[in-house]
Structure 1
Amino acid sequence: YQEFNYAIQVAPPNSAALRHAHWGFGWGALRAGDYPRAVGEWLLAQQGYDGHPSWVPWSMAIALWAKGDHDLALQYWEAAVRSDANRWASTRGLDREMADWQPEERNIAQELHAEWKRRLSNRN
């Protein structure tokens, strides 16, 4: 984490560099299995935006699911689907998005997606 901490330390306040450092730190933490840290870094990265960055719902959903916060993860996943159904609602779209992901990240997203679909079918 040393490099991420350094990048955060030297980035100007409220800058794109600071947002990117927190975003990258979040992915590094996720890949290291430090899911609470991933959530925290992504919350910090999100604060620097005026609007709603498109990466927030699906990224947070994956980290929250891995962390065990399944209900909140599903709420974020639902937001991801609402914002871009072509990417997140279908298995085909999800597979396309995950082509370059690490196996653990794919497994997390597939579990989350399967549970989202199961709950969706129970609503109908």
Structure 2
Amino acid sequence: MVSSSNTHTQGYKEWALRNRWSEDLRCDCDEHAIFSISKTVDNPWRKFRGCPNYQKFHMDLEEANNNKAFAMEVLKLSEEAKNNKEVQLDILNLLKVELLMMVMLLMVVIVMGFMVHNVMVKAL
């Protein structure tokens, strides 16, 4: 014969399970929470309710981390390109100065050529 204490405990457990599992639980994403069974080492075969989009969100998080890593790499490359651009601008400025000096030297040579030409013409 079953004791009344044991029957009471069983009845309470059944009531608690019925009420807990029959609630209309919703996730933060407003989806109905679904029943799942844990397959982890820590909680094997444990029943729980979870979001039906958990795997999707989990994958989205991995994808977001990958995108973050990609964005960081692009940012790093853009910084390198910016620094490279600054170096290229410095080189371009040096080339401009060098070209200006060559033009000035050419003008001096041309003027000297005219002066030598005038001296030669007068000497004849």
TM-score of the pair, normalised by structure 1: 0.18
- Structure having the higher Rg: 2
Bigger proportion of residues as strand: 2
Bigger proportion of residues as helix: 1
